[in-house]
Structure formats: C-alpha cells, structure tokens
Amino acid sequence: MDKRKVIIDCDPGIDDSLAIILALKSEEIDVKGITIVSGNVHGKKGAENALKILKELNRLDIPVYLGECEPMERKLITAEDTHGRDGLGESFLPRVEEVTYKEGAVNFILDELKSEDITIIALGPLTNIAKALEKDCEVTRKMKELVLMGGAFKSFGNCSQVAEFNFWVDPHGVEKVFKELKRKITMVGLDVTRQCVLTPNYIEMIRQFNEPLGELIVKITKFYVDFHWNQERTLGCVINDPLAIAYFINPELCSGKEYFVDIVTEGKAIGMTLVDEGDFYREKPNCLVLTEVNSKGFMEMFLTRIFPKHKEDIISILNNSKYGLN
Ligand code: RIB
Ligand code: CA
C-alpha cells in the first residue's frame, strides 16, 4: 500500500502524544516530520516532549522541528493546568540526549510541501501554518489538505464558554489560514472530539495489557483525568488529537458539512469559531466541519493499532454491554 505522507504539527501535550503514537502505529501513514508550535506548553518544551515520545516508540529517526513560539498577535497563554508542568502529565520522563530537535519548522514545512503529496495534520494552534502562508503563499497551495483539531461549532468551549483552546491561543493564525490557504480544510472540532473519552474502563484495560506503551499512556493521562474531573466532571479524559489522525486514516469515522468558517479575533468571545450555517456572509464554503463521530469505531482503531496483540480482547470488551463503553 502507498503510505500517505503527513507532517504532524502539534503542541505536545498529552493528547498530541497519543496522536503521535497512533500515527506511528498506523501503517497507512508516513510521518515525514513533527513540527512544534507553542500551545499546551512553550514550543521548546513541546519539542523536547515530542522527542521523549519518539524515544518511547523507538522512532528517533523522525525529525522534530521547532516552529513558532509566540502566536501571530496575542501573548502566549499555555495550559500547564491541563497537561502538567512538563506538558506530559507530570510524568517527568527523562530528557532525550541521543538527538536534538532542529529549528526552522516553517522552512521544513515549505520544503516538504514542494513534493505536492503532503497532508498537514495540525493538532495545536495554527501559527506555523499561518507563518508558512506569510512566507510563501504559493508553496502552501501545494498542500494536499489540512486536517486540523480545533474549533467548536455547536459544542461549548474549553477555555471560555465559546472558544476551543487551539483557536483561542492564536485566533489571528486561524483567521489567516481560513482566509488564505485555499486548500481543503477539515475541522475536527470539539463537537466530535468531546465524544472520544478515554474512560477509567479503557485506562484499566490498557493497564492490564502490561506493555511499555500502555504503562506510558496510563502514566501521562492520570493528570489529564484529574483535570477533566475537577474542571468539568468528566470521568476519564477527552482525547482530542488522536481523532484527527484516525479521521485522516478512515474518514468514514466522522461526518459533517461544508460551511464558510471564520473566527472572532478580539473581545470577550475571542477564539470563537464562526460557522456560517445560515449563509449570512454569502461566502463560498472553506471548511468541512465534522459534527458526527463513530466514537466506538474510533476507540477500536486507537486501541487495536497501539495494542495489536490484544485486538481480540479489545473488541470483545468494546462489544460487551456490561462495560457500558461507547
Ligand atoms: O482544545 C483541545 C486542543 O488544544 C488539543 O489539541 C489539545 O492538545 C490542545 O492543543
Ligand atoms: Ca494539541
């Protein structure tokens, strides 16, 4: 099978790390590189975290590039309350010494896009993509498509009543990308990711697999589970970013509709996604907004790709109603 080439642009970040794991355990995907943007944590910490996850996967062959560390206009606001001081759930994994991350994520993105068969899967604020547009708009239009985790259509926000974190950190970056990219954009927003909850049952199943990757996932998600309970009485943790990877692999997992999408860039509603369902702006649709998800199908893909030896157990438990899983 021809692998599909991607660049994962992210802000690791606990759920970004789960997304990297899923991508590297999926034979359909050829990860050409991981580019880092400030978001959950400062970009430099995110780049170190990406290396830590790649080391756990024995994939330090994949290059990590540090990108933009400040949003286009706003002052950076990070999310250590959600992802821990280290950005990996206060697991405090040892710093990777064997390799270092490189600088110049935007130039890496532009160089790779020239091959014309690259999809960018963006899991953090869109600052790197916006800067690539600023630097060389023509080359960015060689991108196959942009699949992004971010935004909220009808779902409530997660860093204000109306704003999703990635869009809220850098709304000017989002505005530029939606206005200028002119390539297919798919928004994997909170409307679908909120239905992808790694519940205590799933976490216990992962623990029972007694595998190094399972130990890592249990370790880095504990802090995230505690945050979700304290913040919104969710039992478990919403794993947003892996859904963008899963959707890229199998678009049948989600459905939605094309709309003209814009964003609020100032005031109390800053970061709010404006999905023009009523066609008030009379603008051409610029984004496929996902609104439905087969959350059980997602979880099955997520778990069976990462723990292939336990596929039978996973499917049996997923389909056993006594566990009440999605
Ligand atoms: O709102 C959730 C998104 O913001 C996820 O990508 C999470 O990692 C943070 O970047
Ligand atoms: Ca992220």
Question: Is domain 4-194+237-291 in CATH 3.90.245.10, yes or no?
Answer: yes
Distance from residue 111's CA to the centre of ligand 2 (Å)? 23
All residue ranges of the chain with pLDDT < 50 are none
In this structure, what are the phi and psi dihedrals at residue 88, rounded to the nearest 5 degrees? -125, 45
CB 29 within 8 A of CB 23: yes
Structure token pair of residue 181: 């990219």
Ligand 1 nearest-atom number relative to CA 124: 10
What is the DSSP annotation of 213-252? HHHHHHHHHHHHHHHHHHHH--SSEE-HHHHHHHHHH-GG
Look at ligand 1, atom 1, and give the residue with the nearest C-alpha.
Answer: 165
Q: Check residue 198 and give its pLDDT.
A: 98
Distance from residue 166's CA to the centre of ligand 1 (Å)? 6
Q: Check residue 103 and give its pLDDT.
A: 98
SS3 content of the chain, % helix, strand, coil (to 5): 45, 20, 40
Ligand 1 nearest-atom number relative to CA 12: 8
Q: Check residue 159 and give its pLDDT.
A: 95
What tens digit of pLDDT does each residue of 238-283 get? Answer: 999 999 999 999 999 999 999 999 999 999 999 999 999 999 999 9
Helix (H), strand (E) at residue 23 = helix 14-24
Q: Check residue 326 and give its pLDDT.
A: 53
Ligand 1 first shell, C-beta below 6 A: 11, 13, 15-16, 39-40, 123-124, 149, 158, 164-166, 240-241
Pocket test for ligand 1, best of 9, 80, 127, 149 (most atoms within 8 A of CB): 149
